[in-house]
A = this chain, B = another copy of it.
């Protein structure tokens, strides 16, 4: 439960999804489980390369692998997405709050300079 672990996990997840091929595989896996061969088919790379990609996804916890004779069906693990979403949402929310505070300050300044002008409600994130 250490923050250390969580941070490394997060790094692995983000790094895994930084590759478009790997993102594409994740997209493919939302439709249903697939074998390595099936996953490799659409791409113009060797099966070994795909195997490496899957290892990266697995170590990020995005994917798990079963056994079906020679085949190794790949399964998408949706839970890890929550880790990312939490991280993103945390900072996105803080940033938004900051904007709102800034808007409030600007509105107050505006009001101090021109008390005739109604401060009204600050506009939401309409920054360039």
Q: Is A10 an interface residue (CB 8 A)?
A: yes
| A79 surroundings in chain B (CB, below 8 A) | 125, 127
* Bound Cα distance from A94 to B92, whole angstroms: 23
B88–A84 CB distance below 8 A: yes
Q: Is the CB of A99 within 8 A of B78?
A: yes
Interface centre among A14, A31, A32, by most chain B C-beta atoms within 10 angstroms, is A14
How many copies of this protein are present in the complex? 2
Give the number of chain A interface residues (Cβ < 8 Å).
36
Q: Which of A18-26, A43-51, A66-74 contacts B (4 or more CB under 8 A)?
A: A18-26
How many Å from the CB of A14 to the closest CB on chain B? 4
Q: List 19 A-B contacts (CB under 8 A).
A: A7-B20, A11-B18, A11-B19, A14-B15, A15-B15, A18-B18, A27-B91, A29-B95, A30-B94, A31-B94, A31-B98, A32-B98, A78-B95, A78-B96, A79-B125, A79-B127, A81-B88, A85-B85, A85-B92
Residues of A within 8 A of B (CB): 7-8, 10-11, 14-15, 17-20, 23, 26-27, 29-32, 76, 78-79, 81-82, 84-85, 87-89, 91-92, 94-96, 98-99, 125, 127
Give me the 7 closest cross-chain CB pairs, A-B, nearest first: A15-B18, A14-B18, A30-B94, A78-B95, A81-B92, A14-B17, A30-B95
